[in-house]
């Protein structure tokens, strides 16, 4: 689960990280009062959407002006003007896709005098199997591009979970970021704080791009992106309360109601599969045969007919889906339950795209019989290879 920048900053502030004073607003008439409260003389008006690249982004509406989604304002009047232009407008960045995202919240914060922009993130590093810091002196820009063009400017520091951030770790980070004097003192203090927040709140990503050295040589968290591990959210009602459903895919919200592991993707073949491993294999083989999956979906083990029905409806409600592949290996999950779920869903919402079904395992005969006896137009398949080829052919033929 992701949260907004202003929420992430408030959370990091609780842990003692240096962030600017700022206030979120939800309607344009709050802008003047907030600008006065913060006092200026420099304000930054920041669109709050769950995507980065806002500064360099562009609004779809001409009325929002030529400037991007993060704007420096030099007077209260300018704060009001920018808020009026940006609130409700649709911002397109290199992370939103073409459709862009509507700006429903704006964060107004004190402007900082920037000396240098640095990059810092904390993530779960699969190579070391540990939580690791990733830092670079090349902050404020697209870190993927830095990784591509100048990988030597990025340092990864894995953290030993028993010891936490050691002095040696913090020194290595300070050196990589070329921090001196007061900025170095700030760094030594800040890195353990960020690590503590990451671990205690079960984050999966904490990205600060940029972390800045101000002209007074103090550090400040200028941007903050935080993602939480969805499987640990039950431990954090305070974090759950920060959820902004308007930022989430409607199909993913529906899926979460039924406890389905569902992720919307860009392709056109809808997949209904049980088990994350089989779901990944199914997506891979669809790609192997030259098409793209429209989603990742794991209905899990021992799902009810109701859950399977909901899953199938979520897939068919996606207008990008031009064909569906049901690939089930029944273990705890029973093939007849899957078949019944598919039939129930089709009775309720119809089916307008080709459907390939591959069933194997527990109660497979009962499952196949249910489908055969229905008037459902199913393309049967024998194995994974066969199933993938058939659905790709059906979608490409259509
Ligand atoms: P995004 O990464 O989505 O573009 P950022 O919060 O990183 O958004 O802002 C983009 C740029 O705007 C920053 O790299 C920085 O140069 C500038 N900026 C952002 N916040 C402030 C601030 N409080 N004071 C001064 N400049 C800022
Ligand atoms: Mg940024």
Ligand 1 atom with least separation from CA of 51: 3
- The contacts of residue 283 (CB under 8 Å, 6+ apart) are 271, 293, 296
Annotated active-site positions, please?
A: 119, 207
Q: Look at the chain and count its residues.
A: 398
Q: Is the pLDDT of residue 382 over 90?
A: no
Q: Which of 128, 141, 135 is CA-nearest to residue 153? A: 135
pLDDT per residue as tens digits for the range 239-248? 999 999 999 8
pLDDT per residue as tens digits for the range 100-115? 999 999 999 999 999 9
How confident is the model at residue 375, as a pLDDT? 87
pLDDT more than 70, % of the chain: 100
Average pLDDT over all residues of the chain: 95
Q: How far is CA 114 from CA 44, 196, 203, 217, in A?
A: 13, 26, 28, 9
pLDDT more than 90, % of the chain: 84
Q: How many CB atoms lie within 10 A of CB 12?
A: 22
pLDDT per residue as tens digits for the range 33-79? 999 999 989 999 999 999 999 999 999 999 999 999 999 999 999 99
Q: How many CB atoms lie within 10 A of CB 238?
A: 10
Report the C-alpha dihedral over residues 187, 189, 191, 192, rounded to 10 degrees.
Answer: 170
Q: Is the pLDDT of residue 297 over 90?
A: yes
Residue 353 Cα, ligand 2 centroid: separation in angstroms? 41
Q: How confident is the model at residue 393 (pLDDT cuts 50, 70, 90)?
A: very high
Higher pLDDT: 332 or 157? It is 157
**Rounded Cα–Cα distance for residues 191 and 42 (Å):** 28
Ligand 1, CB cutoff 6 Å, lining residues: 20, 44, 46, 52-55, 70, 109, 111-112, 114, 117, 140, 209-210, 222-223
How confident is the model at residue 301, as a pLDDT? 81
How confident is the model at residue 12, as a pLDDT? 98
36 is in an annotated binding site: no
Q: How confident is the model at residue 398 (pLDDT cuts 50, 70, 90)?
A: low
Give the ligand whose atoms come closest to the C-alpha of residue 42: 1
Q: How far is CA 69 from CA 88, 91, 94, 163, in A?
A: 12, 7, 12, 40
333 is in an annotated binding site: yes
Q: How confident is the model at residue 27 (pLDDT cuts 50, 70, 90)?
A: very high
Ligand 1 atom with least separation from CA of 220: 23
How confident is the model at residue 259, as a pLDDT? 87
65 is in an annotated binding site: no
Domains along the chain?
21-110 (3.30.1490.20), 114-239 (3.30.470.20), 250-396 (3.40.50.261)
Residue 364 Cα, ligand 1 centroid: separation in angstroms? 57
pLDDT per residue as tens digits for the range 241-279? 999 999 988 888 889 889 898 998 989 999 999 999 999
pLDDT per residue as tens digits for the range 186-238? 999 999 999 999 999 999 999 999 999 999 999 999 999 999 998 899 999 99
């Amino acid at each position: 689960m992701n949260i907004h920048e202003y929420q992430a900053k408030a959370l990091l502030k609780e842990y003692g990280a240096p962030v600017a004073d700022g206030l979120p607003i939800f309607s344009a008439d709050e802008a003047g009062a907030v600008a006065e409260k913060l006092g200026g003389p420099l304000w930054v008006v920041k669109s709050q959407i769950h995507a980065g690249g806002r500064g360099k982004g562009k609004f779809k509406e001409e009325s929002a002006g030529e400037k991007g989604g993060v704007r420096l304002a030099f007077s209260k009047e300018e704060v009001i003007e920018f808020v009026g232009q940006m609130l409700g407008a649709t911002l397109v960045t290199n992370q939103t896709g073409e459709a862009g995202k509507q700006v429903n919240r704006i964060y107004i914060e004190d402007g900082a005098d920037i000396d240098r922009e640095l990059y810092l993130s904390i993530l779960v590093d699969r190579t070391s199997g540990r939580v690791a810091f990733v830092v670079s002196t090349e902050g404020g820009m697209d870190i993927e591009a830095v990784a591509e063009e100048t990988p030597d400017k990025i340092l990864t520091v894995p953290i030993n979970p028993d010891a936490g951030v050691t002095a040696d770790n913090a020194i290595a980070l300070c050196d990589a970021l070329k921090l001196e004097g007061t900025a170095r003192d700030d760094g030594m203090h800040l890195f353990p704080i960020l690590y503590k927040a990451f671990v205690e709140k079960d984050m999966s990503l904490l990205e600060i791009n940029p972390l800045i050295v101000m002209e007074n040589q103090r550090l400040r968290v200028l941007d903050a992106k935080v993602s939480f591990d969805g499987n640990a959210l039950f431990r954090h009602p305070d974090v759950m309360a920060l959820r902004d459903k308007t930022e989430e895919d409607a199909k993913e919200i529906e899926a979460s109601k039924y406890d389905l592991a569902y992720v919307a993707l860009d392709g056109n073949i809808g997949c209904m599969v049980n088990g994350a491993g089989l779901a990944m294999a199914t997506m891979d083989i669809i790609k192997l045969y030259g098409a793209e999956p429209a989603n990742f979906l794991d209905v899990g083990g021992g799902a009810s007919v109701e859950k399977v029905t909901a899953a199938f409806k979520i897939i068919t409600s996606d207008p990008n889906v031009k064909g569906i592949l049901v690939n089930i290996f029944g273990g705890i999950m029973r093939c007849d339950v899957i078949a019944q779920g598919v039939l129930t869903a089709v009775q309720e919402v119809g089916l307008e795209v080709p459907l390939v079904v591959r069933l194997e395992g527990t109660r497979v005969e009962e499952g196949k019989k249910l489908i055969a006896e229905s008037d459902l137009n199913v393309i049967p398949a024998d194995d994974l290879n066969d199933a993938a080829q058939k659905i790709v052919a059906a979608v490409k033929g259509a």
